[in-house]
Amino acid sequence: MKKMIIASTSTIHGSKYLAYLLPTLKKHFNDVKELLFIPYARPSGISYDDYTAIAKKAFSVLDIDVKGIHEHKNAKEAIKNAEAIFTGGGNTFELVNQLYKNDVLTTLKEVLENGTPYLGTSAGSNICGVNMMNTNDMPIVYPPDFTTLGCINFNINAHYLDPIKDSTHMGETRETRIKEFHVFNNIPVLGLREGSWLEVNNDKVILRGELTARLFEQNKQPIELESGVEVEV
């Protein structure tokens, strides 16, 4: 019985870390006393301790303590015994690299499939899909495999951006990059805009937040999904 929040970002403009999600997280992590944090993505290259401190401060508002996975002697056992789990954003390549290096990807998938409440933001959301091939991140390290959790049957493009009207920038848009992906792959991709998230209850996936999301499927025109609808692919 999956119970997951898969968010495009941890922080929206003009707001504090996770602030926009706190009402949702209060319900999602109801009765949770301690949260296991996975800081492997290391945004801006910060240390695991510093990243965990950021998460700890945010969850203190909900009276939930936070302990980093790196603080445990056995990462696999920490995941198995966790009341709830949060994987933060940063670089998806490094996140996936460390999940493989520490041999915890399969264990993480198992506990999530069995109902351990989960929050992912950005890179922590990218890993919820079939693979990590729709991340926006630079390949700063080379993970053993691009295969990720597969807790949902499509991929996430977090921080999805629409083309800016009248822009003179000649670089590729996110839509162009996803179309390139679909030349070689048939996995659907959801462009999740800032401030949007997915609520996963078992196999039901609902789009939440105030914005639409853009769904791409191979050999089909992309469509806009309204907030509140079930994502079906």
Task: List phi, psi (to 5°) of 147.
Answer: -65, 135
Is 42 within 8 Å of 232 (Cβ atoms)?
no
CA pair distance 40, 189, nearest whole angstrom: 24
Is 231 within 8 Å of 225 (Cβ atoms)?
yes
Nearest alpha carbon to residue 158 among 201, 128, 202, 180: 128
Nearest alpha carbon to residue 187 among 128, 121, 142, 145: 128
Tell me which of 72, 159, 182, 227 is the catalytic residue: 159
Tell me which of 8, 10, 137, 196 is the catalytic residue: 137
Is residue 122 part of the annotated active site? The answer reads yes
Tell me which of 8, 10, 122, 125 is the catalytic residue: 122
Per-residue tokens: 95: 């996140």
Q: Which residues are catalytic?
A: 122, 137, 159
